[in-house]
Chain A
């Protein structure tokens, strides 16, 4: 979710009519997890409600617009949200139903155009240029989508319609909640230039700070200084990138198979952990998850990186490149543990650990250096067999013995 500070809901005047050539739609569910929960908890409608873990470390995963009025937003620690709103209703997340709703919504998108690029469970880009003749103008299609999502799933969504991905996404943010906004091609500049610089894709806190120091507060400010000045201040590629965006130039197309550059999972401990045995077990669980995701995506990767966040939020990552790309949890785990041990932490208290695999290649096409002494069937086959068992019997059907706990199944 964008941390953009654009005022939501305020629809700029004069926009929203001419959708000629605006074939990119950005569809974003409104307060997705919270909306799904409200479907079977109508008594909570109108109340400030959030979805998230209640425990000490819980964070807000989604907040209703009533809760947002208190300044609550997603990714905020639950303890802080509680302080902001004493009457806050907290609902535990039910990821299963979110995944289900998401799949139905994505299937609906796919029935309109094959060019769907999902960004997460609750948002996607659609290129509807091929559907215009059949179903009407992009804005018409957007309204149709909104109606069908509401009828079929009982939740609302907002749609941005524009000629590029980045403007469409800004438009949907502006249209929220439960709205649709068209940014006509010839009004893109007028739409963009008053926006704060952090509306631009690629501007995070640090870049925002740098831009502010240069006296650049709005997108228009960026557009009206020489590109070379921007490049000197921000580096060649970021400077050029922001300059292009400030004039509404975004060459990215909607690509249904945006290949992932890396696959990783991380875990925030319920309370800080300093026990190496617990950390190792968590690393094993994470590497199993990551390897399963690699295999499901049909990719292999060569660079394994370990992320460690200490109790004081200092975060470090260490990585190692393997001689051969892999999708085998056993390889990932042994590398991850080596990286962990090389840190020499001596019982430092950790808040979070994460494992990520980068340098991904298609598993099919990737050349594979064979081993002299490899057994006919190695760990890869064993893990594939576990994948098959999981498909048949459900998650956790086959897991490493070390992850079996007496009271609970290892969760995903």
Chain B
């Protein structure tokens, strides 16, 4: 095998494919990156039995072939190479990477024993890369990081006609985003529970792509597989098992108090007052008249108070939140104004974005946040 490739193209492709390599695995082969040189270009792949990545890139291939090389090492090398064309040659069990006046020789691994990557399932539809990336980022904050409850570490994708609904919850908050897409079939009605970290990471790397294909394995042997494809990069991931909570029933139908606050100002204020909120103590919000006052700490400990202008409709309310959960929601709102809807102080609050104070909330994103009970 022998090929020549531009340094930037190699570095980008290797970095992307190496991103899902397992850091520790009892199967050393899986730490390898598969390079396939074909007529017209290269295909780089990685696979850890859960997630596969496959990226195509242009190259001048002098001799076709396949080789499995230590992935992280190649990624580190590719990143450090000078900006000159790179020549890669396999000679026996060694692979030589030549760039300018530097030469690296790496051992190879047995390519014959490398597992076969899953087939990309058939396309279910197409979304725009930028909005898909932002939608996934919006809900991913609410996914749990506790691997022992695996089904809460996922993002649920519901593909219903022309809309994809994304949802994630760790039981303390729930983020729901609706996103228009172009399904292969207008009558599609399917759902998948995708590991949040993989989806967020993949969507982010495809944020610049005009169109991203979402593929879902139907019934058959590849059941439980989701594929995402865009710009020559394909990722497949196994789906998570377990039953995702029936979240739609959690969204309150009505509210007693509606309040709008400038998002950026609230973020700053929460960050400031929560400096005195020791671990696991909440920040308390009191909405009344035309302001919201924030307090944290108290008792014998340090205390902080700050107030902000707000537009409040309905009854005054006192409610306490975990400051991190509140900030997570505010930080992904992507709107100048946050609109809170409350019922009572021990029931969830609904956060949504709005264009200005007092305006109607934008319907596509909701962040449901469960309060903290104090005293």
Contacts and interface: CB of A to CB of B under 8 A. Distances in A.
Interface of A: 302, 323-325, 338, 364-365, 367-373
Interface string B236-261: 00000000010000100000000000
A370 B370 contact: yes
Contact of A370 (B148, B280, B373): B373
Contact of A369 (B174, B368, B370): B370
A366 to B, nearest CB: 8
Nearest to A369: B372
A302 B172 CA distance: 17
Contacts of A367: 280-282, 320, 372-374
B322 A370 contact: no
A373 B245 contact: yes
Nearest to B320: A367
Contacts of A338: 148
Nearest to B148: A338
A364 B375 CA distance: 6
B280 A372 contact: no
B129 interface: no
Nearest to B280: A367
B339 interface: no
Contacts of A369: 172, 280, 282, 322, 370, 372
A226 to B, nearest CB: 36
A372 B169 contact: yes
Given A302-B280, A367-B282, A372-B245, 7 more contacts: A338-B148, A367-B280, A368-B372, A370-B172, A370-B371, A371-B172, A371-B370
B95 to A, nearest CB: 36
B173 interface: yes
B245 A368 contact: no
Contacts, number: 45
B348 interface: yes
Nearest to A325: B280
Nearest to B149: A334
Contacts of A373: 171, 245, 250
A315 B146 CA distance: 27
Nearest to B346: A370
Contacts of A371: 171-172, 370
Contacts of B173: 372
Nearest to A341: B148
Interface string B356-375: 00000000000010111111
Given A325-B280, A338-B148, A370 B372 contact: yes
Contacts of B174: 372
A324 B146 CA distance: 13
B252 to A, nearest CB: 11
A372 B370 contact: yes
A32 B86 CA distance: 83
14 contacts: A325-B280, A338-B148, A364-B375, A367-B280, A368-B372, A368-B373, A369-B280, A369-B372, A370-B373, A372-B171, A372-B245, A372-B250, A372-B368, A373-B171
Contacts of A364: 375
Interface string B207-220: 00000000000000
Nearest to A320: B148
Nearest to A338: B148
Contacts of B281: 367
A373 B244 CA distance: 12
Interface in B264-321: 280-282, 320
A344 to B, nearest CB: 12
A338 B146 CA distance: 12
Contacts of A323: 146, 172
Contacts of A324: 280
A117 to B, nearest CB: 22
B149 to A, nearest CB: 10
A372 B172 contact: yes
A367 B298 CA distance: 13
A325 B282 CA distance: 14
A371 B374 CA distance: 14
A367 B348 CA distance: 16
A323 B279 CA distance: 10
A365 B373 CA distance: 10
Query: For B169, B280, B372, which residue has the most chain A Cβ atoms within 10 angstroms?
Result: B280
Given A372-B169, A372-B250, A365 B375 contact: yes
Nearest to B245: A373
Given A367-B320, A367-B373, A367-B374, A372 B282 contact: no
Contacts of A370: 172, 346, 370-373
A325 B279 CA distance: 11
A309 B210 CA distance: 59
A71 to B, nearest CB: 49
Query: For B148, B169, B368, which residue has the most chain A Cβ atoms within 10 angstroms?
Result: B148
A302 B280 CA distance: 10
A370 B250 CA distance: 13
Contacts of B346: 370
Contacts of A365: 375
Nearest to B281: A367
A357 B362 CA distance: 45
A372 B169 CA distance: 9
Nearest to A373: B245
The 5 closest A-B pairs by CB, nearest first: A368-B373, A370-B370, A367-B372, A371-B171, A367-B374
Nearest to B282: A367
A124 B320 CA distance: 42
